[in-house]
Amino acid sequence: MRVAYYVRVSSERQAEKELSIPAQIKAIQQYCTEKGWSIVSEFIEKGKSAKTDDRPEFQKMIALAKRSNRPFDAVIVYKFDRFSRKRDDHVIYKALLNQCGVKVISITDLTLI
pLDDT in tens, 8-43: 887 655 555 557 899 999 999 999 999 999 999 999
Residue whose C-alpha is closest to residue 77's, from 38, 25, 36: 25
CA torsion 37-9-48-113 (nearest 10°) is 40
Whole-structure pTM value: 0.85
What distance in Å separates the CA atoms of residue 10 and residue 5, rounded to the nearest whole number?
17
Q: What residues are paired with 5 via a beta bridge?
A: 42, 76
CATH architecture entry for 2-106: 3-Layer(aba) Sandwich (3.40)
pLDDT in tens, 31-89: 999 999 999 999 998 866 656 777 899 999 999 999 999 999 999 999 877 777 667 77
For the chain, domain boundaries: 2-106
Instruction: Give 93's pLDDT tier (boundaries 50, 70, 90).
Output: confident
Concerning whether 11 is annotated as a catalytic residue, the answer is no
What distance in Å separates the CA atoms of residue 30 and residue 96, rounded to the nearest whole number?
27
Is residue 42 within 8 Å of 19, Cβ to Cβ?
no
Question: Of the residues 10, 38, 41, 68, which is catalytic?
Answer: 10
Q: Is 5's pLDDT higher than 60?
A: yes
